[in-house]
């Protein structure tokens, strides 16, 4: 593939309807039909495509027609804007050909793709082959490069740092009773839900335990309200976050609200969670970052958190209840603040990056 952008390689010409309805597009069987289509080098917003062709009339090919669509399922919205193009006319560059985000490809999304070969005539019309077979593939998660872009956006609004002393986790009384009876008093990591950015590599994959650490500005203590239950487990910050743990940036998102969430991951050095994150997430300096810091002052560990974002902290190892305390909170259960499987606002300019949502 020539070392230049797809914009330079590919001329976009979109058309609607099937080929029997397309004005000026004729059918000729002599052009070879692509077969044995291969999709490779898949990212969250690009892929490479190649195929085999019979040699007959191969030298007449001037363009490729590529039809790309999201794979529909029973839960998908069947309505599609008529002005959203799904077909691309690309100059017949050497294969494999890189297709980038001209369709605003979304990460972790299933697509179908089919290909035609075409020959542009002197009058501007095209002679085309039959469509190839339809191939299915799924785009990838955000890479570290994409997450670093999210990280930089989050740093802009993080705000000044406030002191904290504890991490806390709110749940219903039944949750803690179950932990005591069935898990030997130790809270167990569970797979993270699909809240946040659609391309986040931790959603549905990373196992951990959610904690909060934000404090009230006027008291310096955790808020008494919670969307997750009226019982709170509190643990001294140094028992989860210390020089023997690594800190990673996981996500930055909002849910059609003015406030934003940042997901951080704390993983004991060398643990399975640490190895998972090291491959996929930007690592933060625990002493110097914009969100959550741990440093020693006069022989004492001192902790700070960002004031202007809501931090969701995932700890990747089991945590024994004996390391902290469980007590009922006095505030309200604010269900509107729950982030369980929350969908990110794709239109927010603050927390979206310029790749698929």
Q: For residue 48, give the CATH number of its domain.
A: 2.60.40.10
- Flag whether 12 is in a domain: no
User: 182 and 81, same structural domain?
Assistant: no
Report pLDDT digits (tens) over 242-294. 999 999 999 999 988 888 999 999 999 999 999 999 999 999 999 999 999 99
Q: Phi-psi region for residue 299, left (φ > 0), alpha (ψ -120 to 50) or beta? A: left
User: 219 and 96, same structural domain?
Assistant: no
User: 174 and 94, same structural domain?
Assistant: no
At 70, is the pLDDT very low, low, confident or very high (cuts 50, 70, 90)?
confident
Query: If you average pLDDT over every residue of the chain, what do you get?
Result: 84
Query: What CA–CA distance (Å, rounded) separates 131 from 85?
Result: 17
User: 118 and 65, same structural domain?
Assistant: yes
Domain boundary among 139, 157, 181: 139
Burial class (CB in 10 A: 0-12, 13-18, 19+), 223: middle
User: 135 and 148, same structural domain?
Assistant: no
User: 148 and 238, same structural domain?
Assistant: yes
The whole domain housing 193 covers: 144-328
Q: What DSSP assignment string belongs to 180-208?
A: HHHSTTEE--EE--S-B-TT-TTTTT-EE
SS3 content of the chain, % helix, strand, coil (to 5): 15, 35, 50
DSSP class of residue 176 equals H
Query: What CA–CA distance (Å, rounded) separates 42 from 107?
Result: 10
Rg of the chain (C-alpha set): 26
More confident residue, 3 or 202: 202
User: 195 and 53, same structural domain?
Assistant: no
Mean pLDDT of all residues in 90-113? 84
User: 199 and 57, same structural domain?
Assistant: no
Domain boundary among 139, 160, 187: 139
- Flag whether 2 is in a domain: no
Q: What DSSP assignment string belongs to 106-174?
A: PTT-EEEEEEEEEEE-TTS-EEE------EEEE-----HHHHHHHHHHHHHH---EEEE-EEEEEE-HH
User: Residues 3-9: contacts with CB within 8 Å, 24+ apart?
Assistant: 5/100, 6/98, 6/99, 6/100, 6/102, 9/90, 9/91, 9/93, 9/97, 9/98
- Flag whether 8 is in a domain: no
Query: What CA–CA distance (Å, rounded) separates 137 from 303?
Result: 45
Burial class (CB in 10 A: 0-12, 13-18, 19+), 212: buried
- Flag whether 276 is in a domain: yes
Is the pLDDT confidence value at 195 over 90?
Answer: no
- Flag whether 9 is in a domain: no
- Flag whether 357 is in a domain: no
More confident residue, 344 or 52: 52
Count up the domains in the chain and report the number: 2
Report pLDDT digits (tens) over 315-330. 999 999 999 999 988 7
Report pLDDT digits (tens) over 9-48. 333 333 333 443 443 444 444 899 999 999 999 998 889 9
Domain boundary among 139, 162, 193: 139
Query: What CA–CA distance (Å, rounded) separates 172 from 104?
Result: 41
Query: What CA–CA distance (Å, rounded) separates 310 from 330?
Result: 21
User: 165 and 233, same structural domain?
Assistant: yes
User: 200 and 319, same structural domain?
Assistant: yes
- Flag whether 270 is in a domain: yes
Q: Assess contact for 34 and 84: CB atoms under 8 A.
A: no
Q: Assess contact for 162 and 217: CB atoms under 8 A.
A: yes
- Flag whether 345 is in a domain: no
Query: What CA–CA distance (Å, rounded) separates 129 from 54?
Result: 12
User: 150 and 127, same structural domain?
Assistant: no
User: 96 and 134, same structural domain?
Assistant: yes
Q: Phi-psi region for residue 66, left (φ > 0), alpha (ψ -120 to 50) or beta? A: beta
Mean pLDDT of all residues in 208-235? 86
Check residue 142 and give its pLDDT. Answer: 92
Is the pLDDT confidence value at 152 over 70?
Answer: yes
| Alpha-carbon separation of residue 239 from 148, 314, 315 (angstroms) | 28, 14, 11
């Amino acid at each position: 593939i020539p070392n230049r952008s797809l914009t330079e390689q590919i001329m976009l010409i979109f058309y609607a309807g099937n080929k029997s309805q397309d004005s000026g597009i004729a059918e000729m069987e002599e052009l070879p039909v692509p077969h044995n289509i291969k999709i490779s080098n898949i990212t969250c917003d690009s892929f490479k495509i190649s195929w085999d062709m019979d040699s007959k009339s191969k030298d007449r090919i001037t363009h490729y027609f590529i039809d790309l669509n999201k794979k529909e399922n029973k839960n998908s919205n069947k309505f599609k804007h008529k002005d959203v193009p799904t077909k691309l006319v690309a100059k017949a560059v050497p294969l494999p050909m890189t297709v980038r985000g001209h369709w605003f490809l979304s990460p972790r999304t299933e697509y179908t793709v089919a290909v035609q070969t075409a020959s542009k005539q002197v009058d501007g019309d095209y002679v085309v082959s039959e469509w190839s077979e339809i191939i299915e593939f799924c785009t990838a998660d955000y890479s570290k490069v994409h997450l670093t872009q999210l990280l930089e956006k989050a740093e802009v609004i993080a705000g000044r740092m406030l002191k904290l002393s504890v991490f806390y986790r709110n749940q219903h009384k039944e949750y803690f009773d179950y932990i005591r009876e069935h898990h030997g008093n130790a809270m167990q990591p569970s797979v993270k839900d699909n809240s946040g950015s659609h391309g986040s590599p931790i959603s549905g994959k990373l196992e951990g335990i959610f904690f909060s650490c934000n404090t009230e500005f006027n008291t310096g203590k955790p808020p008494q309200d919670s969307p997750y239950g009226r019982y709170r487990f509190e643990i001294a910050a140094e028992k989860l976050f210390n020089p023997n743990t690594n800190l990673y940036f996981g996500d930055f998102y909002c849910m059609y609200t003015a406030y934003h969430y940042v997901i951080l991951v704390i993983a004991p050095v060398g643990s399975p969670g640490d190895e998972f994150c090291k491959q996929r997430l930007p690592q933060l300096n625990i002493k110097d970052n914009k969100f959550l810091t741990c440093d020693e002052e006069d022989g004492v560990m001192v902790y700070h958190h960002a004031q202007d974002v809501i931090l969701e902290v995932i700890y990747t190892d089991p945590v024994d209840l004996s390391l902290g305390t469980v007590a009922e909170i006095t505030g309200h259960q604010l269900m509107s603040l729950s982030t369980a499987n929350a969908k990110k606002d794709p239109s927010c300019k603050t927390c979206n990056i310029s790749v698929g949502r």
